[in-house]
Chain A
């Protein structure tokens, strides 16, 4: 009787020491996660700049287009038609101060040829986006003529486009 009891206790201890853990409790910790989210900037041309029709004057001259589309020729140059300033829509972070930079363009004739009409771009260099992350940008420009350009349809699509670069 005494020997039987001892054996049983040894067997019990053997079971308890085989690594089977008693599930006594669970412990929980909170974890923190974070991220800095920024919206990618995007800029899209809404209105193409348009100098309408220019009649060359004597010698070199210029034609500029204002934000409201008004065309201003120099000297005896004249214009006809409705001018348009370039308009762009910027989308990105809300209430974000934006830096804007430009490069000028070159217009060339759709008929080909080497004649180039440079366009000098002017616009604001800083903007702040709206609460919804949108900013509208209006670009003005000035064409410079030698006065001996051939008639034709000139466009930066045939030459070199001007560029608008937005950053923050």
Chain B
């Protein structure tokens, strides 16, 4: 009885001992996308606009700090140092879609004017960063005499709303 048991154990060991072996490297993969971010760098600034009474028109600021003033013979004057809005994006290299929402400028006293944003539809990020310049069309006046009060208008004044720039990373 005792001898039989020993033999059985030995037999099991014998059969489980590998006679040869094989191995391979396992492959694991992952796609890593860097966290994207965007921050405002330069505020959009239309400078100083002088408008005639009773006339409504658009003042256009492109993405290169260039302003287009309505007809000067109507009394429109645009001066100062206009600036396009500038944003800096951070993320993985590539080209991403950009979208915008429009804004409202307010003098903080209940007078407002709409701003329609225009800018590139995509941004290319290289070496982790990319720049985005944004312009806009400011509609000044409502066509009625004295309808648009003079003042310092901003999206950050009470009654104003900022525009937004969204990048889809």
Contact = CB atoms under 8 A, between A and B. Distances in A.
Interface of A: 2, 6, 9, 12-13, 16, 19, 21-40, 42, 91-94, 96, 132-134
B50 interface: yes
B146 A37 contact: no
Given A33-B136, A35-B105, A42 B75 contact: yes
Contacts of A37: 49, 51, 107, 113, 140, 148-153
A5 to B, nearest CB: 10
A29 B38 contact: yes
Interface in B71-96: 75-77, 80, 85, 87, 89, 91-92, 94, 96
Nearest to A34: B154
Chain A interface, >50% SS class: mixed
Contacts of B145: 91
Contacts of B115: 33
A25 B33 CA distance: 10
* A-B pairs, 7 with minimum CB distance: A35-B46, A33-B44, A30-B162, A93-B150, A34-B154, A40-B75, A32-B43
Nearest to A12: B29
Nearest to A32: B43
A132 B146 contact: yes
A32 B150 contact: no
13 contacts: A16-B29, A27-B36, A28-B165, A29-B164, A30-B164, A31-B134, A32-B43, A32-B156, A37-B49, A37-B51, A38-B50, A39-B150, A40-B75
B24 A91 contact: no
Contact of B162 (A13, A16, A26, A32): A32
B164 A36 contact: no
Given A29-B39, A32-B43, A91-B146, A39 B165 contact: no
Given A27-B89, A27-B169, A94-B149, 14 more contacts: A9-B27, A19-B94, A26-B36, A31-B43, A32-B40, A33-B45, A33-B136, A35-B154, A37-B148, A37-B153, A39-B52, A39-B148, A92-B150, A94-B150
A2 B23 CA distance: 12
Contacts, number: 165
Interface in B1-49: 24, 27, 29, 31, 33, 35-40, 43-49
A8 to B, nearest CB: 11
A39 B51 contact: yes
Interface in B108-122: 113, 115, 117
Contacts of A92: 53, 150
Contacts of B166: 26-28
A9 B29 contact: yes
A59 to B, nearest CB: 48
A35 B153 contact: yes
Given A37-B140, A38-B49, A13 B169 contact: no
